[in-house]
Structures are given as structure tokens and as C-alpha cells.
Structure 1
């Protein structure tokens, strides 16, 4: 009688259990800071095998807040995020690798009806309970994704700060 043993896989699919998404963009009167609801989705990550990691993350486009109701209403419309037609901002990785003391997730970022390959740097810290805290800060050009139009009052580059705890 033969016995087959299955090996234990150290990286497993996990859920994002908490997080935050913040952004900032400069405009003629200063800097507009805002937030989206926490990212949601699934992740596979283990710092010992980053090449086996993967991310499938969504952010609800209509959840942003900039502390200006009029501006928030405009941003939800078809000139900017068009949240009625495109409710999610989506990132799906195709490759994850270690880069020095950090990591980089390469994949497809989709906003509105535009998908582009991007490389997002991130830090990963293993917590005492076995969960991971992941943080990423990156810049995107809003015009690449049809978020608004060229405007001398508003810069094109948006800085995004993403934090997620996966377990």
C-alpha cells in the first residue's frame, strides 16, 4: 500500500482585513488631500517566497472624500472617475519580486476603461499574529487614466499611499 504525503504550502490566499488609501494632488491653491475606503481583495504573500506572491486588489472609486462636497460630487462624474460606470479601481499583479530591502509588484492597474502595466513598490512587515502589514507609496499620472483633462490649475501627478493588513 502506497501513501502519498502532501507538502505544506507556506504562502496561502488571504484577505485584506484592514487598510487605508490616501491620495494627494497639487493644485493652484495648495494640495488636495483625500481618502478612499480601505482596499479589498485577496493576496498571497510570504517574505521567504516573494516570487510566489500575488495581489488582486480593488478600491471602490466612489468612496473618496476630500472634505469638499462639491468637489467630491464633480470627481464622481463622467469627467473624472465616472463611478456609475466604473465603480472600482483594480490592481492585479503578474509578478512580485524582492528589490533590495523592499518588494515590487508588477501588474495591471485599471481605472475607468484604461488598463496599464505598472510597477508598485511596497514594504512588508510580518506582525506577531502572523498577519502582514503592507505599505506602498507611488505616483500616477491621472491623465493616463482619463481622470479629468489637462488643466493649468491642477497637476497631472497624483501621489497614492496605500496600506493594507492581510491575514
Structure 2
């Protein structure tokens, strides 16, 4: 059974400016997409070594990197840049945004490596070690879920006491 993380919902605080709510809604949608991706990857890992659906692995391998990059680019352009503009005079905000961007880069690099393994699983490459592939899949989706939780908490904290954002 796949454990679901409570997703980040934009605050219902009416004192937040509409632009803030819109950006947080975009972030929440991005998080939903990333968590759904984690669920699909977990299903692949759970099927190893004998229940591998080669077509699912092929699709996951092809879409993983571009999909994750697209989600991160949208977050950074719509949410991070806006947050930096509004709250950039706070060094802790800039530091947090820098850390989140770095984690995006790490996730995308890991996704590239994982995409290659998924492609090899899709072609029934006998040199792929199923235990190593499962370990890699689990490492990726566990880290991505942790990143989503951290990002959710960061933006909850950033918007909690800022009614004028």
C-alpha cells in the first residue's frame, strides 16, 4: 500500500492577496503531480523483479526528466521568483530559496540516471540488477516526497504571518 502525504493546500486565509493564493495553488498542483509520479515509480519498484511492465518503464523513462524539469521550472518562475521579489530583503528567505533550487537540480540529476535504468528495464536488459534498480527507484521517490514535504512547510511558514503578500 502506498502511503499518501497530506498535500499542501493553499491557505484559505482571506487576508492573503489573490496573487499569493494563485501562486500557492500552482505550487500545490506541482506537488500533487510530483507525488503522483512518486506513486507510479513506487509501483514499478514494488513489481521488481518479476512483475515489470516494460511499457510502463519505457514511458516513465522517457517522461521522468522532462516532466520533473517542467514542474520545477514552473515553481521557480511563478513561485520562487515572486517570493524573492516580495520577501527578498530577508536573508533567510533567499537562503531557503537557494536550497530549494539546489534540491531541484539534485532531483533532476537523479531523475536522469533513473530514466536510463528505466529504459534498460523496458528493453529487458539482463544486465540490470533488479535489487539495485529497486533501491534506486526507492531512493528517488523517497527523496522527492521528502523534498515536497519540506517545500510545503517552507511556504506554509513564509505565508503564515504575511497577510500583505
TM-score, scaled relative to structure 1: 0.29
More contact order relative to length (CA 8 Å, sep ≥ 6) = 2
Larger strand share, 1 or 2: 1
TM-score, scaled relative to structure 2: 0.29
